Structure 1
Amino acid sequence: MPLREIFATLYLWADAHAVAILMAALAWGLGGALLARIGKAGQSDRDGRAIASVVIGGAVLVFVMAVMAFAVAQVGFNKGVLDANVLLLAAPLLCLLASVVGIHWVFPLSELATVHTLRDVAVFIIACAAGLWSLSKFRGWGVVFLGGLGGIVVIGVMAAALLRVLYRRAVGRSG
Structure 2
Amino acid sequence: MSTLDQHESELVRYAQRFVGDLHAARDVVQHAFLRLCDQDPKELRGREAAWLYRVCRNRALDWLRQSGRLQSFDESDELQLTGEQSSSPESDPAVLAERGELSDVLRSLVDRLPLLYREPLQLWSQGWSYREIAEVVERTEGNVRVLVHRAVKALREHPQVSSWQAAGVRG
Same fold (TM over 0.5): no
Q: Which has the larger radius of gyration?
A: 1
